[in-house]
Amino acid sequence: MHYASPGRTVFQTLNYMFFIVFSISILVPFINALAISFSSYAAVSQGRISLWPVDFQLDAYAKLAYNYTFLRSLINTVGLTIVNTILSVTISLCCAYALSHKRFVGKKVLMTYILITMFFSGGLIPSFLLVNNLGLGNTYWALILPSLISPFYIIVYKNVIDQLPKEIMEAAEIDGAGEFSLLFRVVLPLVLPMTMAFIIFSAVAYWNEWFGVLLYIKDKTMWTLQFQLRGILANARLEDMDVNPPGVQGIHPDNLRMAALMLTTLPIIIVYPFLQKYFIKGQFVGAVKG
């Protein structure tokens, strides 16, 4: 029978209490926002909503679904998240594999250069001028290229690849495997947990992208979902938000705000638990050697 000392029992009790209070502080506002999004105009106006919808309705969601600008921003966000995540992780893996290669000339110099970029950047104004001078302003490339390379991913990938057994690589080379076969058929399966962790990091970051849109994008059809959410939370209005779908009457601004908040947040909340196991595995890759 396991015996816990009084001090440990007190610590565990306080620890559980802290995390319970912490979880409640996160869940209660989220549930309240969800309830507001499903409630009627009168209930929201009178402030009668706590943790359960009053006079349940879907008018706010119908209005957002009826809005072309909002739907277009959803498509933009999904597309940019997929493209940026795939490119960022793939390029980082390829670069790390090259830097780990024993026959790569000048890899120490290049590695030093990559390390410098982690601590120093050109700054916001030079970056803005560079993007516009290259003619990338008001294009999707302005949201893809500036954040395409991740020095952090490259460094972590390189450290993990350096720890892989050299015998596996040499055996694959003896069997006639080329560089791409080594990378994608030997190295990639071994670093898959780390890759999935980076996919989660990148997907969440790109899904929440709005600052790049603020700087570089003027065309409203190219706005991302988070940038649209920013506008809705500020004034609960889109370009054509005055147009209601058939059968929908007046909608309280808070209904619209909370519905937009739910639509932009729920996809990540739904997907994240399914990828969490890879995230946990990825944290330990390279942490234990031997």
- The pLDDT tens digits along the chain (290 residues) read 456 677 788 888 888 999 999 999 988 988 998 998 888 888 888 888 888 888 888 888 888 888 888 889 989 999 999 999 999 999 999 999 888 876 777 788 888 888 888 888 778 888 889 898 998 889 999 999 988 888 899 998 988 888 888 787 778 778 777 788 888 888 888 888 888 888 888 888 899 888 989 999 988 889 998 888 888 877 655 555 665 666 666 677 888 888 888 888 888 888 777 776 666 554 444 444 44
Give every CB contact of residue 142 below 8 A, 6+ residues apart in sequence. 131, 136, 212, 215, 216, 217
| Residue whose entry in the numeric block shows the structure tokens 């071994």 | 190
pTM to 2 decimal places: 0.80
Cα distance from N-terminal residue to C-terminal residue, the chain: 34
- The residue among 159, 161, 207 whose CA lies nearest residue 186 is 161
User: What are the C-alpha distances in Å from 126 to residues 32, 133, 283?
Assistant: 43, 10, 35
Cα–Cα distance measured from residue 11 to residue 70, given in angstroms and rounded to the nearest whole number: 48
